Amino acid sequence: DARVGNGPETATGPTGTGLTRTGPAGDRPLEERLAEAGLRLEVDGAVATVTLNRPERRNAMTFATWRGLAAIGRSLPDGVRVVVLRGAGPSFSAGIDLSMFSGDGEGFADGSDAEATDRFIAELQEGYTWLRRPEIVTVAAVHGHAIGGGFQLALACDIRVAADDVKFCMKEPALGLVPDLTGTKPLVEIVGIGRALELCLTARTVHAEEAARLGIAEIVVPRDGLDAAVDDLVASLLAVNPGAAVATKRLLWEAPENTLEQQCAAERREQAGRLRDLFGK
Ligand code: ACO
């Protein structure tokens, strides 16, 4: 999604707030750096809530946003079991901040250095990949627009709860880009290749009813019921045995890649761990 910067130190968001701009990550408190990146993190016991917090820009995302998400993943306290991602204001996220494509391109390269390009995008993808860690269950609370990088962020979560005003759109191909923030794999796994192609190559919008039908959203509720629905889901997730939750998430995410035989073996292995935990002396 991102054109390639000349390195992490020069790649900044449109507001000049690349997380690395002011020096090594440890220089200033995480909270302050996240605020500059348009992010807010609240940890309440076992639940962390990450809010995309640039409502005046419809939570458009910059390089700083993606680095900030990665920093949250790295710094999450051990006791956190559920992470909720939500957007402040009218939308979840309008995707990449389009102002990064305007101007004279200062701080950008053209992608001709393949290795640097690869490293650069991999660093941004780290903002999304931690959401799959088995130690946490991640829930996207999606309302309004979830476009491009915003749609991919929702897809990076384990479960999507959507408001009935949701509008998902994989806009990247319309802008000459591919979706590269980890979204192509979950999209294909959820809707199949044919539907994924149709959605991406037309860059059309998927509304709530279709999102529910396609399995893009597990739960759809009226807009004013979104917070309550997420609270209910979180309470249910926390009510399950923590060790079983971790083992089951690990098992389920392995399933699509495994043969039946491999998956049966994985079930036996995980269950042995559970039995040791529950009944072992
Ligand atoms: N980047 C930068 N600014 C944005 C973005 C964005 N992606 N999206 C919205 N904004 C800004 C608008 O420019 C506007 O700023 P202004 O108040 O200074 O005029 C403000 O946010 C509010 O946006 P509106 O368009 O007025 O809000 P509205 O609710 O009518 O529409 C919508 C929201 C549909 C999201 C529209 O803003 C839009 O289409 N945005 C662009 C979406 C896009 O193409 N994203 C890139 C996806 S591809 C990828 O992520 C790699």
Q: Give 154 Cα–ligand 1 centroid separation in angstroms.
A: 18
Q: Give 190 Cα–ligand 1 centroid separation in angstroms.
A: 27
Predicted local confidence at residue 12, as pLDDT: 35
CA distances to 78, 79, 94, 201, 205 from 39, rounded to whole Å, are 20, 21, 14, 30, 26
200 burial level (CB within 10 Å; 0-12, 13-18, 19+):
buried
Distance CA 220, CA 26 (A): 40
Structure tokens at 107: 């701080």
Q: Which atom of ligand 1 is nearest to the CA of 151?
A: 50
Looking at 6-113, list the stretches that DSSP marks H as alpha helix, in order from N- to C-terminal side: 30-36, 63-75
Predicted local confidence at residue 6, as pLDDT: 32
Distance CA 238, CA 229 (A): 14
pLDDT, tens digit, for every residue of 188-204? Answer: 999 999 999 999 999 99
Mean pLDDT of 240-256: 97
- Model confidence at 264, pLDDT cuts 50, 70, 90, reads very high
Mean pLDDT of 137-162: 98
Q: Give me the torsion for CA of 48, 49, 54, 59, rounded to 10°.
A: 110
Question: Could you tell me which of 31, 30, 86 has the C-alpha nearest to residue 59?
Answer: 86
13 lines ligand 1 (CB under 6 A): no
- Report angle CA 112, 117, 122 to the nearest 5 degrees: 165
In the chain, the percentage of residues whose pLDDT exceeds 70 is 88
Distance CA 76, CA 46 (A): 10
145 lines ligand 1 (CB under 6 A): yes
- Model confidence at 102, pLDDT cuts 50, 70, 90, reads confident
